[in-house]
Amino acid sequence: MEFLNWQMILEILILWFIIYSIILFFYGTRAIQVLRGIVLIMFAFFVFQKLNLQVVDWIFTKLFAISVIAILIIFHPEIRHGLARLGQQHLFGATLRDEDVDSMLDQVMTACENLARNKYGALIALEIKDPLANYVEKGITIDGKISAELIESIFTPKSILHDGGIIIQHGKISAAGCIFPLSESSNLNRIFGTRHRAAIGLSEETDAIIIVVSEERNDISLVYNGKMHKDLSRESIFTLVKEILKQKYAQD
């Protein structure tokens, strides 16, 4: 009996680890919603087996098999994308050197300062740990080196991509023209437009750092964890980003 209890606990732990790993694998893609449904079906399947409800058990067995096949067929692009990401570090990996962060921020801030000077708006999201793959999918793939020139060209008013945001991940500009969720917070001042609401909205759902350039006020703001730090200098943003990263990875 003790052996059976130990065996049952081991099986539960193994299943929990497998399910958790699969959820992490798909997190940030549209497949996650379907995957959650499959997890619920699996849970119901085990409950019905334990209760010995044979007819319902048979139905859920067939439904589970069809669901697995369906997710493999319908979401094969997400699966391929997830496999390609395996082994890759996020932009701000725990081993990333300070000089690498400085180099990236230097290019981003040079672009932001030039855009602000010319009264052009910008919206830049820096992925930390929470994957932004779901938002990358909705944008236009860039997969380009982080450079001030590329960022400025994207947010020039004549560019077809200037209305959306860009996402920086894995040391590159992954996509542009990305649409972020708008915050519905009633505390946000009415003087802030769609870009600032999108920045706060994304920061409420992920741990991304978002930098916003206002074309009306010609200032640069940083948004993180639902909070906006307004009208910052280059030095202030460098300091704030490093403080956020230090706190974030101190939790590991």
Q: What is the chain's pLDDT, residue by residue, as a tens digit (252 residues)?
A: 444 566 777 777 787 777 676 666 665 555 555 666 666 767 776 776 677 777 766 776 676 667 667 666 666 655 555 555 554 445 554 445 677 888 999 999 999 999 999 999 999 999 998 888 889 988 999 989 999 999 999 999 888 888 899 999 988 999 999 999 988 776 666 667 889 999 999 998 899 999 999 988 889 999 999 899 998 999 999 999 989 888 876 655
Given this model, what pLDDT does residue 247 score? 81
DSSP 193: -
Cα-based distances in Å from 127 to 33, 35, 69, 95, 171:
21, 23, 32, 15, 10
Find the Cα–Cα–Cα–Cα dihedral 20, 28, 112, 200, rounded to 10°: -90
The pLDDT value recorded for residue 251 is 58
Q: What is the pLDDT of residue 139?
A: 92
Place of tokens 């079906």: 41
Cα distances from 79 to residues 8, 124, 195, in angstroms, run 31, 26, 31
For the chain, count helices (H), then strands (E): 9, 7
63-103 pLDDT, tens digit each: 666 766 766 666 665 555 555 555 444 555 444 567 788 89
